[in-house]
Structure 1
Amino acid sequence: MDAVQPATVPPVRDAAADRLRPGMTSTAGKRRLSRRRRFSRARGKGAAYRARVGNAASPHRARQGDRPERSATFQGGGVGGDALIWRVERACAAAWPARVAHRESGWMVGVSGGGSRRSNSASATAPDVALDMPTLHAIQRRYRDADQPTIVRLTDATQAAGALLDAAGFAAPEGRTRTLLRLPAGHTPPGAVIVTAAPDAAWRAARQRLSPSSAADHAAIPSRVTAPAAFARVMEGAHSVAIGYAALTDGIAVIESVATDPAARRRGHASAIVAALLGWAARGGAAHVALQVEEANAAARALYDQLGFATDLYGYHYRRSARCPTFA
């Protein structure tokens, strides 16, 4: 997206000075003049701000057909960019919660066991959180005590910590992932989509069957969600052939775990799941809907682009400790 040039605002004429009659030198008159000049200057600044914002393409403005306008990645910039990023971060953490979450100087240290990096990594919780060596050592102790490798998750907003991880011998970045955003939409779920407020036995069985490599830990994570949630599955006959869920936190609905049986792909089932969850989010009052997809998964990114997730909000990756730390 091209940089937005500051708008040129015509000078604001000092109308108060025009209305000051010759010889008006009283204290009250001077006070009125001062107040009017301050108001005029503020009005001029406000016009400049509105002009800048008005000229910028909104990343959330809906296109025809309820498809948001494509936007460049937020890098902490834009109107409300930082605040929205951290709201989405908190909502994503609530939608994919760790079994145990420790706090270390503004970093959330997730310990869950199993193979999920997101629920077994340390993430910053606010934009002003830095990573220094004492904090890194505290994080490493948490994972050493849990007999797990130390994994630090860095977003676009926390890349400065990468130099410290380099010095500490952490491996190269892995698992590059993008966070995509769109507006909710009042879709009506297709009749074949079943939506429940909790993961029932059929949903859990489908989750384990569709994710066999990580069945145990990935099946446990949705059961830990405490935020309002919707669990959707598509039926073909007596079988669940596609699943997904969404959780709503602070006006952000996060879609997770969309999966389709390989034998039932290219039949629109994933689209039906997402449509049902978008409708649930709209009815629940969500302001935005987010999901996270691996950067290298071109097929999934193309699908989500077709489904309107055209705003690339921010990315993240993981850094894994390449050696076991020793402490004095």
Structure 2
Amino acid sequence: MRTHLAGAQSEKELAPLIGHRVSIRLHDGGGGYRDILGYLESSNSVKKKDGEIVEFDPKKIAALRVVIDAEFRAGAGAPLSMRIRDLEIAAAKTWPSDSLELFGQWQIRISKGFSYRANSVLPLGAPPFGDPPLEISEAVNYVVSKYLEHKLDPVFHVTLPIHQELDRYLSEKGWESPYEILVMVGDTRELTLKEAHGEIINDKQLSDSWLNLQGDHTVNEILERYPSQFLQLLINEETVSVGRLSIADGWGILTRIFVGEVHRNKGYGEEIISAMARAAENLECNKLALQVNSDNLAAIKLYEKMGFKVHHTYRYRKLLENKNVAECC
């Protein structure tokens, strides 16, 4: 369904919008415009908030926009802190760790292989520290001992701006930040999507061609542990871009978006993301989220071009190797 129309419209073009809330700008007789806001009742009438039915001439449409209710739009509705928490929970579900321990409102995630998302503590409670069950120094001590027990680096996934105090505390105790991540969101009804120039393959299981393009086989178990769709774009029977779509709590989480090195700057990234957005729509999911390193300027520019916006950020905090438990806390 198109959500933005310009110029005179036919009955066929307006039919899919009947029942939706719309804002219509009409050409007026004096060379100006008049606006109508309400629910489209037919191809030439709108029902306003007070119940009045207003008729209009579709040939006089200058512009029409579908109005999306805030609570159903990605990145809108509830207070920011609640939206961030809900989105972080949804994203975590789609990247399940080997083991998960609930420590107050902290999730202690431990897995084989290298993946900060599956090997880090995710605080989900209220500021300032995310509601661990112990005083902050004791809680961090416990976390450190758990990861060292598994011969893993202790890492925190610190969501900003909610847990700025926790981030400051860890920084002062010598926890380094390898990089920062932007969480970007978009609504499929508002994104600019591109048609694929090749064939889109959508599988429910990993394939060799999908894996070979993205190259990292260390997280295969994690990728298949949560129900997902693995999409790939083929040009002349060659896989040029791939991505993974997972649906959780009303969100379409896009991960593992890769474009083959020799195929970059040809629009194939935009095409695979567009295919993932349409696949989400087919599952009646309009809210999309993805994550990108803050220094990946080319990817950020692409996502912004398509209509994605930064929702929040998070930072990994890793305990320096030369720190012991007493020093870090």
Identify whether the pair has TM-score above 0.5, normalized to the shorter chain: yes
- Counterparts of residues 136-155 of structure 1 (less than 5 Å): 136-155=140-159
Q: Does 1:238 align with 2:243?
A: no
User: Compared with structure 1, are the counterparts of its residues 167 and 263 closer, same or farther at alpha carbon in structure 2 (3 Å cutoff)?
Assistant: closer
- AA aligned to 2:221 is A
Q: Are the equivalent residues in 1 in contact too, given 2:214–2:242 (CA < 8 A)?
A: yes
Residue 220 (structure 1) aligned with residue 221 (structure 2):
yes
Unaligned runs of 5+ in 1: 1-62, 69-73, 209-214
2:203 aligned with 1:202: no
- Residue correspondence of structure 1 range 127-138 to structure 2 within 5 A: 127=126, 129-130=130-131, 132-138=136-142
1:318 and 1:146 map into 2 onto residues whose CA distance is 19
State the one-letter code of the partner of 2:217.
A
Q: If the length of structure 1 is used for normalisation, what is the TM-score?
A: 0.68
- Secondary structure at 1:266's aligned position in 2? coil
Quick check: 2:125–2:131 contact (8 Å CA) kept in 1? Answer: no
- Identity fraction in percent: 20
User: Residue in 2 aligned with 1:307?
Assistant: 306
The runs of 5 or more residues in structure 2 that have no matched partner are 1-62, 69-73
Following superposition, the deviation at residue 79 of structure 1 comes to 4.5
After superposition, the Cα gap between the structure-2 partners of 1:127 and 1:259, relative to the gap in structure 1 and judged at 3 Å, is same
**Cα separation, 1, equivalents of 2:263 and 2:115:** 26
How many residue pairs match? The answer is 248
Instruction: Find the counterpart in structure 1 of residue 287 from structure 2.
Output: 288
Query: Would you tell me which structure has more strand in proportion to its own residues?
Result: 2
Can you list the C-alpha shifts for 1:279-318, whole angstroms capped at 9, x where unaligned? 1111212241011111111100000011110x21100111
Alpha-carbon deviation of 1:219? 3.4
Native 8 Å contact 2:124 2:131 kept in 1: no
SS of corresponding position for 1:217: coil
Write the distance in 1 (CA, Å) between the matches of 2:261 and 2:282: 31
Deviates more, 1:181-190 or 1:292-301: 181-190
Larger radius of gyration: 1
In structure 2, what is the equivalent of residue 193 of structure 1? 200
Q: 1:144-196 deviations in whole A, cap 9, x for unaligned?
A: 1110111111111111112432343322x231111111112496963511112
Q: Indicate the structure with greater helix content.
A: 1
CA contact (8 A) 2:99 2:109 kept: yes
Counterpart position of 2:314: 316
Task: Kindly state the Cα deviation for residue 95 of structure 1 after the two structures are TM-superposed.
Answer: 2.2
Distance 1:127 1:144, change over 3 A: same
Partner of 1:169: 174
Distance 1:78 1:195, change over 3 A: closer
Aligned twin of 1:23: none
Structure 2 length as normaliser, TM-score?
A: 0.68
The RMSD of aligned alpha carbons is 2.8
